[in-house]
Structure 1
Amino acid sequence: MNDETIKYLEETIDASSDLFLLQGDVLVQRANTTDLVGTTAVFDGPSGIYVYPDLMMRMRFRELATAHWFWRYASGADGRRYFMGIAAGSSGSMPKITGDNLRRMPLPVPPLAEQRAVAKALADVDALLAGLDGLLAKKRDLKQAAMQQLLTGQTRLPGFRRKWAVKTLEEIAECLDDLRVPLNEAQRSRMRGDYPYCGANGVLDYIDRYIIDDDIILMAEDGGYFDEYKTRPIAYRLKGKCWVNNHAHILKAKLGFDQVFVYYSLVHKNILPFLANGTRAKLNKSEMKKIEIETPGEESEQAAIANILSDMDAEIFALEARREKTRLLKQAMMQELLTGKTRLVPTGEPDA
């Protein structure tokens, strides 16, 4: 966009002291932490709601298309940079935007036809993201239901008849905690490399050597998501070369038991009764061995269940990757379209 399209925000809004919201009004967070100040949204209704002026600023644009244009621009890189600059320079303990510095915000304003075209393009991407979010939620719910049914024997796979038995973790898995070696941050900084350095909840760093080369299950000893076990994992699986610190137990399924089945039996298990009391919840090795798992009598049934759940995880992972690519595409589109680097409507086309 050329300099002629750059206006100050006050040139595009109606001056009004009315604090009751109407559909299409734009709200700007005027006071909060630095990363939240300037958060912007278009109000969709219902009309007549009162906005508290100490927390939010209300703007009413002359054109609805411009309201949506500003919302997109303010949420993009240039808009956030402007608001964070104001927040960093404001006095007091809480960063705050004033009406004056908001009205002085430089805003590239293309013709209305282009504003509408950009709004439609970005809305289409938003709709795609929303569809992916809905599909992901559905897939996760299906997997949760499948785990509940398959890992308890409530639903049996065709061809399997042998009874299930309750086994302790000591009976079905070897504990390899003797292989654990903790490293502090200074030590790791001298060992930068490609091998995962693992802790209670996942990979913490990458170093230039390893102590394990195997398919292992890592289960948090302390610092795990024990209270959130239904929605967050308390165990994870790693294959290949890695280094493990002393905040995760290392488990390997014994002969006759499927490694992946054991993993799925643990990843969202309620182990709160086995935790030691104290200021920091901890799963001691002796208590971990007492954890009970319902187990099919045939390893082939364990493997069949594990394959079904692995396939569901692969679907979810593919959807998550697709959603992330779409999110990055939207981010790139905003940078191009909201700065005029890419134009959707030929220059000089009249507003409609």
Structure 2
Amino acid sequence: MSQATKQVIPDDWDVENISSIASKVTDGTHDTPRPVKEGVPFFTAIHIKENSIDYGSCYYLPQKIHDEIYKRCNPELGDVLMVNIGAGTATTALVTVNYHFSLKNVALIKPNDQKLDGRYLNQSLIFKRESVLETLSSGGAQPFLSLTQIGQIKVPVPQLQEQIAIANALSDVDALLGELDKLIAKKQAIKTATMQQLLTGKTRLPQFATYTDGDKQGQTKGTQPSELGETPEDWEVKTYGEIFTFLTTATNSRSDLSESGKVGYIHYGDIHTKWDNLLNVSKANIPHISQDKITSAILLKEGDVIMADASEDYDGIGKSIEVLNLSEKKIISGLHTFLLRDKNDVFANGFKGYLHTIVAVKAIFDRLATGLKVYGLSKANLKDVPLPVPPKEEQTAIATILSDMDEEIQALQQRLSKTRQIKQGMMQELLTGKTRLPFDKVDTKSQGEPHAD
């Protein structure tokens, strides 16, 4: 093994600057051309994600403007794109389409196909991104990589056939990650549609769709007008204020929290980023706080609802979680939250966490929210927001279906996370030469090019 730039690599590998193994390092336009409804696809930094390009949300340019940009920067199948300015700086992706498009604020690296496989280079740059960012000077308005700096990035370079073998192995894992992403998105879409049908009564479960006794026995249940639109005639409509007691929450910031302590602490930021609908305390990683830092707060009870009362975007307005499987644990609700407790057990446990997702309810939240950069709900306004109240037995049946869907999605998300960890481990082994793959039988002509989408 030889040492180069403080990295141990196999003796038969080299370490090269990108400029010496690329046929071109350039970038797209620095201007801001006006997009049109139809024309040639046009991508900016926002379209370049880690290891993928968001082809579906591209802008379009007139042919004449595209042609001018394309003279300088001509991305083609198998090239590597790198964001070179802004928050996504050093993010890379492989070009997998075989049509013309233009770029802005994105660098283009064309591999010398006699020395370098584009897929291998892309994986190497993904692996090196953090170290590349560390080389940038701090204090500027935003991160920036010049073309010279990109050209000076050093990457380990095995023989071309070994590059292809490594790229093939990592691409197989990428394909699995892509399929898992698609499956999760599909399951989430099904769950969303199911929620909007069951939580509004537009679709009734068979056992609740008809009357089972009395003069209407066997007849399909109808609907009635309400503040939420048409709702089932055997459902009630009550307000948050009628159903819930609003309890005292803590006022501690994130800096007061730690991984240890006797009391768990629900931070509003975690409601936005970590949990959806139901908080299973027995499985969740909840931050803690020391007892002596708590000035006033009520301990949570099973079935309590915690709503984030502030959000930086409309999607998060009114987002709530229901606390389940609390057991004997001591947990409090924190800053920028409402702690809601069902006064008279109007709702079944497991049902309350989905109330904020009902389209008509969410629309009222959005209408009531105030603020410019951060949107907030007031306690006074929230108390008047109406909620549909199905019979308790129907609530339980709906909650069971939705929680089963949640568990299936969570299992897929855990599998996705584990697969990502596996890929990271593979990159650590393969892109440093710690683990070598057989490559003498690889056909470079048939396997060295990416598949076009």
State the match for 2:244 in structure 1: 174
* Contact residue 264 and residue 331 of structure 2 kept, 8 A: yes
Aligned equivalents of 2:149, 2:311: Cα separation in 1 = 45
Shift of 1:181: 2.7
Match of 1:284 among 354, 375, 378: 378
Match of 1:236 among 297, 304, 321: 321
Aligned equivalents of 1:102, 1:273: Cα separation in 2 = 44
Q: Give a deviation string over 1:252-310, Cα, whole Å, max 9, x none.
A: 232343132232122454133673645554333332222211222x3111111111111
**Structure in which a larger fraction of residues adopt helix:** 1
State the match for 2:133 in structure 1: 84
What amino acid sits opposite 1:336 in the alignment?
A: E
* Contact residue 225 and residue 234 of structure 1 kept, 8 A: no
* Contact residue 60 and residue 67 of structure 1 kept, 8 A: yes
Q: Give a deviation string over 1:38-64, Cα, whole Å, max 9, x none.
A: 333332343555666x85243232248
CA 1:48–1:39 in 2, change beyond 3 Å: closer, same or farther?
same
CA 1:332–1:148 in 2, change beyond 3 Å: closer, same or farther?
same
Q: Give a deviation string over 1:141-170, Cα, whole Å, max 9, x none.
A: 111111111111111122224611222223
* Contact residue 28 and residue 56 of structure 1 kept, 8 A: yes
Q: How do 1:5-84 and structure 2 match up within 5 A?
A: 5-8=13-16, 9-14=18-23, 19-29=73-83, 31-33=84-86, 36-46=88-98, 49=101, 55-63=106-114, 66-76=117-127, 79-84=128-133
State the match for 1:314 in structure 2: 407
Which range is displaced more, 280-289 or 299-308?
Answer: 280-289
Shift of 1:71: 1.1
State the match for 2:178 in structure 1: 130
SS in 2 for 1:139: helix
Instruction: Normalising by structure 1, report the TM-score.
Output: 0.82
Aligned equivalents of 1:127, 1:191: Cα separation in 2 = 36
Shift of 1:27: 2.9
State the match for 1:218 in structure 2: 306
Shift of 1:5: 0.9
Stretches of structure 1 that go unaligned for 5 or more consecutive residues are none
Residue 245 (1) aligns with residue 367 (2) = no
State the match for 1:265 in structure 2: 355
Match of 2:434 among 320, 341, 347: 341
State the match for 2:64 in structure 1: none
**What percent identity do the matched residue pairs reach?**
31
Aligned equivalents of 1:350, 1:137: Cα separation in 2 = 38
Aligned equivalents of 2:312, 2:142: Cα separation in 1 = 32
Aligned equivalents of 1:124, 1:191: Cα separation in 2 = 37
* Contact residue 226 and residue 272 of structure 1 kept, 8 A: no
Aligned equivalents of 1:135, 1:250: Cα separation in 2 = 34
What amino acid sits opposite 2:23 in the alignment?
A: D
* Contact residue 79 and residue 108 of structure 2 kept, 8 A: no
What amino acid sits opposite 1:24 in the alignment?
A: G
Root-mean-square deviation over aligned CA pairs: 3.3
Alignment: residue pair count = 337
Residue 2 (1) aligns with residue 10 (2) = yes
* Contact residue 257 and residue 288 of structure 2 kept, 8 A: no
Stretches of structure 2 that go unaligned for 5 or more consecutive residues are 1-8, 27-71, 212-233, 272-285, 292-296, 444-453
Instruction: Normalising by structure 2, report the TM-score.
Output: 0.65
Q: How do 1:115-194 and structure 2 match up within 5 A?
A: 115-160=163-208, 161=210, 163-171=234-242, 173-177=243-247, 179-184=248-253, 188=256, 192-193=260-261
CA 1:152–1:3 in 2, change beyond 3 Å: closer, same or farther?
same
Aligned equivalents of 1:250, 1:138: Cα separation in 2 = 32
Aligned equivalents of 1:285, 1:301: Cα separation in 2 = 29
* Contact residue 7 and residue 108 of structure 1 kept, 8 A: yes
Aligned equivalents of 2:311, 2:141: Cα separation in 1 = 34
What amino acid sits opposite 2:397 in the alignment?
A: A
